[in-house]
Structure 1
Amino acid sequence: MLDQVKDAAREIADARRKIAAMGPNFDEEILGATRALYAPLIRKPSAAVKVTADVAYGSDPRQKLDVYQPAGAAEHVLVYIPGGGFVAGDKNLDGVFYVNLGNYFASHGILTIVANYRLAPAHAWPAGAQDVAGAVAWARANAKSFGGDPARIVLFGQSAGSTHAATYLFDPTFHPAGQAGVAAGILMSGPYLFQGELRPNLKAYFGDDPSRYAERSPLTHVGKSRTPLLLSVAEYDPAFLAAPTYELARAVTLRDGKSPSVAYFAGHNHVSTVMSFGTPQDDVGARVREFIASVG
């Protein structure tokens, strides 16, 4: 047991050292390097977790989700929306990511749903938020049959998935009349305000008319929501992805007169946070589980 603890400590230290060397940057090379770093660290999934894959929540081939069911009854339901820069991404990348996330939270007694959504440029704004609404509606209708409580759904988005989740949470256009449809939200390292000249992948989703960007930005609608939030940022998020979290935290603070829950994950980059689920590096997982447990 002591040797296992020492091995885990070495693995965590090695991961942190290599992530730090990559710096506050993010591109395809860093994405690949981070995947290669964390994939071997993921523990074997629990045999007690039952996986139901490729459940349709809509008619489009991308409108599918995977369900990770704990062995016993689940107090909470987690709906995860992965990132991918609005033009890419998947709920199951090579059988590793984000299977790791589903297995991790289900092994901790949380009914976990990992959903795909339609992608730009074929599907521009507001397709992502519409698909979040579809996945949440499916969860509300079906959670009980998988042992979960539909009144305790936590919506979790990362990167572009966080933008789609935030749009759903803040803009009442996308959720059931008079309610948010979920009990809480986790928004991790996402952009929330769009203006000026956008990067090509952003323009593919939000369009090429700058006069429409404000109304299509979730930050614009933050005053319309009171859903409890956990906002998070990684130490090595690039500035254009780190700053929006603080801007959103400021807007929520001014709205509520108090700060929302904000987590700063030292030693992580833009994707190592979600890729660390199920590895010996449990700092992100523990903080997310703590927040979920606080949701009544």
Structure 2
Amino acid sequence: MTSTSELPDEVLAELRRIGRTFTPESIDAVRQLLAPLHEARAFRAPRVDRDLTYGRDARHRLDVHTTDDGPPGRPVLLFVHGGGFVGGDKTDPVLPYYDHLGGWAVRHGMVAVTMTYRLAPAHQWPAAAEDIAAALAWTREHVADLGGDPDRIVLAGQSAGAAHVASFLAGHGGSGAETLAGAVLLSGIYDPPTAEHNVMLEAYYGSDPAAFAGRSALAALARSDLPMLFGVAELDLPDFHHQAAVLLDAVRQERGVLPLFVTVPDHTHLSEILALGLDEDAFGAVFARFVHGATTSRRSAPA
């Protein structure tokens, strides 16, 4: 059967071979597999303002991806990277990630802000949610000068980034969530008590399971009226599928209906976000549609 994916069949076959394996070797394999496809395209935004500081810590840095010839007041995507709570960065000095996300956003008429944040175990819950609050405040103050609309910001995160976004939306990191137009959460941990307890989870949330219930974002997400898009990869790790099921059930019980949700076909935990711009039918199209839909109702009134 011929694939309808935009990715070459051999790349899809390799992603399926890697599947749910999640080791340093498989992580590097996915990153290296997709990098040449990005490099063959003009994947970066025309303008990237790098390492702007939004706080005092060395990791309080962000990049703004934009263009000088776009209209003012564009939707803004503030993206929070993953890394198992203990690693990750907004950009890689060698590979396209996450400059590829910034370029994708600009091609879809947005301004993108990619941020780093403090890492566990040195900085535990709710440090990253506090950093999101600070980065959001910086973005609201400065993004108009870079082509964006501070009243049309969508916050997005993947993996640990989605867990931190969820925590911020639950109010664990301070105020500011009420200013958002929407949020996108991919493959996150939303309810630590029902998540698989491992070294990385405990590095951030702590080793005392009795404290986990108070660190859950589940109830707050279920009650929230903020437009949100959730998702997992088809070939994601079982724990992320379980967290998605817990979330969907909590929203259904609270609201009687399911939230907007997508299972990204043919992709792994990493490739669901690393393939953005390469396989638009898998996730990019619904991602862009959500951002523009969520921000349309938040368009700033004319001066």
Q: CA deviation at 1:94?
A: 2.8
Gaps of 5+ in 2: 298-303
- CA shift in 2, pair 1:36/1:172, >3 Å: closer
Q: Deviations over 1:175-196 (max 9, x none)?
A: 23xx622110000011111127
- Say which is worse superposed, 37-46 or 108-117, in terms of deviation: 37-46
Query: What is the letter of the counterpart of residue 242 of structure 2?
Result: A
Q: Which residue of 1 aligns with 2:128?
A: 128
Preserved CA contact (<8 Å) 1:19 1:268: yes
- CA shift in 2, pair 1:165/1:127, >3 Å: same
- Say which is worse superposed, 13-22 or 41-50, in terms of deviation: 41-50
Q: Which residue of 2 aligns with 1:221?
A: 220
- Say which is worse superposed, 220-229 or 153-162, in terms of deviation: 220-229
Q: Which residue of 2 aligns with 1:137?
A: 137
Alpha-carbon separation, structure 2, partners of 1:282 and 1:125: 35
Q: Which runs of 4+ in 1 moved over 6 A?
A: none
Q: Which residue of 2 aligns with 1:240?
A: 239
Q: CA RMSD in A?
A: 2.1
Q: Which residue of 2 aligns with 1:35?
A: 31
Q: Deviations over 1:204-239 (max 9, x none)?
A: 111111111111121143345221110001011010
Alpha-carbon separation, structure 2, partners of 1:261 and 1:237: 18
Q: Which residue of 2 aligns with 1:49?
A: 46
Gaps of 5+ in 1: 1-7
- CA shift in 2, pair 1:215/1:10, >3 Å: closer
Q: Which residue of 2 aligns with 1:209?
A: 208
Alpha-carbon separation, structure 2, partners of 1:9 and 1:86: 31
Preserved CA contact (<8 Å) 2:6 2:281: no
- CA shift in 2, pair 1:224/1:170, >3 Å: farther
Aligned residues: 288
Preserved CA contact (<8 Å) 2:129 2:168: yes
- CA shift in 2, pair 1:285/1:212, >3 Å: same
2:193 maps to which of 186, 192, 195: 195
Preserved CA contact (<8 Å) 2:105 2:112: yes
Secondary structure of 2:12's partner?
helix
Pairwise mapping of residues 1-296 of structure 1 onto structure 2 (< 5 A)? 11-42=7-38, 43-45=40-42, 49-70=46-67, 71-73=69-71, 74-95=73-94, 96-171=96-171, 174-176=174-176, 180-195=178-193, 198-279=197-278, 282-295=281-294, 296=297
- CA shift in 2, pair 1:47/1:185, >3 Å: closer
What TM-score, normalized by structure 2, do the two folds share? 0.89
Secondary structure of 2:22's partner?
coil
Secondary structure of 1:19's partner?
helix
Q: Percent identity?
A: 36
